[in-house]
Chain A
């Protein structure tokens, strides 16, 4: 272990410079402004916008997508594919200069396309999904607000802008999780998400403070250029704080507990925010900060460990859940674990993580919307033990969900195979025995993923019907919902194969990600062996689940062994949070309220009364008139004046 920690830091990146955005790219701020204005209009007009508000919401994101495509093609034609646009001085005090500025570079561009592209489809889906909800306009306002904040997050040209968007998406996430705020569970889940995120945010903030204290700046280019002048300890500390922020937003260990609870929000929210985009912000943060993370191998080891641990944790818990959205949520936790594993490995694996992030954006959004479609046809039932045999009744949902399922378990030629398997290979490429540790963890995770996803798929769409009594005829969802499903399914099938080549190449122009030239690493196992193994564990996991659940499952909770019970209880992570933070916290606030009323107040009252002339306790004074102690105060004043004259005369000091 020690030799890992002592390893010399990697070569820092050289000078990072961004060109100025000119011509059409000078209007890149419209990406943020359009959805933001739309959100403001929807909120300010109130009920007057109820009839058409949702279409404005869809249109604003659609326009942003078209603009994003235009900018993307513009950027492709440039020599320096990183352009900055400084809008105004955001904060300027002393040496601190924070730009209200945007950066459009290859990394930002792929995120813009993911957010607005998948975002448009989910917005479209939500028009129908939320059709019977009286709060649909409000929903679309928050949804647009989210898109604006998320675009600001990925487009900012410094860490303060990133934080601005970071908190913005946190707010939108809170508003949407507790969208049905009348339900206590939804209100609590929203609060929990915001609070756990704030723990990570505090880390991110302190990281920003360190940048300013050491480098005097928070702009990306200056920070990345200056990383080489920082001590190893500073880089480690800085990276850990950024990692804390990333873990909060992305639901990684130890801040993962909020994400499954976030499923209290409407299903399109789960698809867009808590699967495809917002929760990947942590991956974005690490990929964006790659010059910092690549500069310290201990830091990378910690990121890899967090990723590996979380991918297993999520998968194990996902196997024991019966709520279709919660299984998908734990699956998201686990898949983002893969992405963290990727960005932690560094080098060429940064790009692999981004490819997996994009592929995951498609197939997970697809499956969440599929789950929403199932719920739509099953009167909002979410318990997979109460589904079964739905393939016949909702053919499109079934087929599209199948594409997502095959993609996530990573069978060729579906997209997960092209995006996940390279990360597993990269894990085996590490230089020491940790190659085995992380490689095997990634492999095991693949097997577990195959198991829980197959269980979910089989229990929902196949086997005998186990519906509750009030359901007589499940139905397919209307076109407005199935069309986005079909498009996302196409993405789930093809995206991986299409992206695995061009995307890493495209990303090379991002500061610090031009690692293509470095020599290929040796893997401890041959590439072919790893591929065979990973397909093998996948088939094994899927086959086992098929065998176990093809005839359905019990509809009541069953007694279970130690491991299953632990998984059902989220491996006791919630219990730990409760015992270590929640209960002592509540006790502390109660004790302090008591103390403040009795102790401090009493003490100061007594002191004040004493100073005020020694005429007794405040309670007795209270009955008198204010003027009656003016005399005693005057006496006191004279005393103090005398004391000062004494000071002046040099008697006291």
Chain B
């Protein structure tokens, strides 16, 4: 089974599905939804098979396939997955069907074609899988850029208030970042001996100056994508304007390409530059944690608020990546997965609230728990996961990032820990203003607010809630896959974990 070309099939399958959905007649939206959902479930099933086939403790890169594309430039369709990519692929395969199911009625409010909306979601899935599965730098770049297109249309055509502005801003920011990366990709090709193959490039020696420039080119692209402070301002606009399902994919997966890129490209390809730039990256990360959390506290728009919380979370991931310890890096990767689950859930639940109320403004709610207790309960649960309460998966990742960072950089870890307090503030205050307190009389007149979660919505939230709890108590299945990949990355940059400063307990007692 391990010879099966999982990665290329997984990449192409959603695209075929998208074409099928796109050609369905516009007047049969239900059929389009069902086909899209079924197709995404097939992709999920296939990726579960891939997960089972994966050999923990086997090669760093598995499922490698390579087909020539532009031989003259050394460009190939090379796919391969390490543990980090694998868990992200699983996250995508899981989230897309849930998002499709959650977005069942989202496209109906727009004037555009309903089938196209679901086709776009599948195209997005294709590009997201491609970007994580690529093991050729040029192929990665192509997916990185193409990924913008479906998201641009999802926001610009099906979004809410100010969708045009948000879509263009999203596109421009990403494109500017992509430009830096393109330059760096070409530069890398030049210094790396005219090849785009990741494995070959990772063995090339690059002069210090060139390495730093190339690192910076990739870093800026990824820092905008993630996004890190101060490149973050496009995300609240995009997240605020995008339909909730697309927003969940945007922050849950798409943005992770940035942090994934740092781990896959910046660190192994430019190890010395990564170490040289690390203090700056750590500073950006830690500023992001505090700054975005404070901004989240001050938001009056639910979707913008969730976007800001994500920027704070990306700060944690950035710190974890640039602390260069195995705990912090594993924590960062686990954070990428857990944040996808938790913030994905949060965005979807917020979307359900917003769809009912017809407004995303917190001040338009108040006491909603009385009317939709179950929905309010799930919102609260997603909030708890977002503030990394033990028992939910994000606790493990945040704890790993912090404890791994503390052993090498105490000030950064301590400041980041303060973010834990702020996280409680933005979550609880949001929950209080939305669902608790005196019932806002305007809510009783809104028809949608009289209906609590229906079966479809329960099916959407239940798997996410269950996974968040399961991985909160027993994260081993995921950490076992991530660990070897992270160890390899640590070796690439030549970093080892510091020994306990007081010696091991056994030595100390002697």
A contacts, CB < 8 Å to B: 15, 88-96, 100, 160, 163-164, 167-168, 171, 174, 178, 181-184, 187-188, 190-191, 194-195, 198-199, 201-202, 205-206, 208-210, 212-217, 222-223, 225-226, 228-230, 234, 588-590, 592-593, 596, 600-601, 603-605, 608, 611-612, 618, 621-622, 626, 629, 633, 636-637, 640-641, 643-645, 647-648, 652-653
Contacts and interface: CB of A to CB of B under 8 A. Distances in A.
Contacts of A603: 230
Given A88-B476, A96-B327, A209-B402, A648 B210 contact: yes
A608 to B, nearest CB: 5
B68 to A, nearest CB: 24
Q: 9 closest pairs, A vs B, by CB?
A: A653-B209, A216-B500, A229-B508, A640-B183, A644-B187, A209-B406, A94-B326, A589-B298, A187-B436
A648 B191 contact: yes
A91 B327 CA distance: 10
Contact of A209 (B175, B184, B413): B413
A621 B298 CA distance: 30
B428 interface: yes
B500 A593 contact: no
Given A95-B500, A629-B172, 14 more contacts: A163-B390, A167-B389, A167-B395, A171-B389, A184-B436, A187-B432, A206-B414, A217-B505, A589-B297, A592-B294, A604-B233, A618-B169, A640-B183, A640-B217
B153 to A, nearest CB: 11
Contacts of B428: 174, 190-191, 194-195
Contacts of B474: 88, 90
Given A171-B389, A637-B179, A212 B407 contact: yes
B237 to A, nearest CB: 9
A3 B169 CA distance: 65
A230 B501 CA distance: 9
Contacts of A608: 172-173, 176
Contacts of B410: 213
A641 B186 contact: yes
A641 B183 contact: yes
A201 B420 contact: yes
22 contacts: A93-B331, A93-B400, A93-B483, A94-B327, A181-B436, A182-B436, A182-B437, A182-B439, A187-B437, A191-B432, A225-B505, A225-B508, A589-B298, A593-B295, A612-B172, A612-B175, A622-B169, A640-B180, A644-B187, A647-B210, A647-B213, A653-B209
Interface in B178-204: 179-180, 182-184, 186-187, 190-191
A629 B331 CA distance: 40
Nearest to B432: A187
B391 to A, nearest CB: 6
Contacts of B429: 191
Contacts of A645: 190
Nearest to A601: B233
A165 B432 CA distance: 24
Contact of A637 (B183, B420, B505): B183
A194 B396 CA distance: 20
B291 interface: yes
B231 interface: yes
Given A208-B403, A229-B503, A626-B171, A92 B179 contact: no
B432 A93 contact: no
A198 to B, nearest CB: 5
Contacts of B20: none
B168 interface: yes
B399 to A, nearest CB: 7
Contacts of A637: 179, 182-183
Given A199-B421, A618-B169, A645-B190, A168 B390 contact: yes
Interface string B282-296: 000000000100110
A622 B165 contact: yes
A190 B436 CA distance: 11
A618 B175 CA distance: 14
Nearest to A88: B474
A169 to B, nearest CB: 11
Contact of A592 (B169, B210, B295): B295
Given A195-B428, A644-B186, A590 B298 contact: yes
Contact of A202 (B164, B325, B417, B505): B417
A174 B325 CA distance: 35
Contacts of B210: 647-648, 653
Pick from A190, A212, A626 the residue with the most CB of B within 10 Å: A626
A201 B390 CA distance: 12
B168 A621 contact: yes
A205 B417 contact: yes
Interface in B301-347: 325-327, 330-331
A641 B165 CA distance: 30
A644 B183 contact: yes
B505 A626 contact: no
A208 B413 CA distance: 12
B335 to A, nearest CB: 13
Contacts of A636: 179
B183 A167 contact: no
Given A198-B421, A641-B186, A647-B187, A181 B437 contact: yes
B182 A226 contact: no
B5 interface: no
B499 interface: yes
Contacts of B389: 167, 171
B420 A626 contact: no
Nearest to A630: B175
A161 to B, nearest CB: 9
B435 interface: yes
A640 B179 contact: yes
Nearest to A160: B399
B425 A195 contact: yes
Contact of A181 (B182, B424, B435): B435
B367 interface: yes
Nearest to B293: A589
Interface in B2-45: none
A178 B502 contact: no
A178 B436 contact: yes
A212 B186 contact: no
Given A92-B476, A214-B501, A648-B210, A596 B295 contact: yes
B152 interface: yes
A216 B479 contact: no
Given A589-B295, A600-B233, A618-B169, A94 B325 contact: yes
Nearest to B423: A198
A372 B390 CA distance: 33
A214 B476 contact: no
B274 interface: no
A94 to B, nearest CB: 4
Nearest to B374: A46
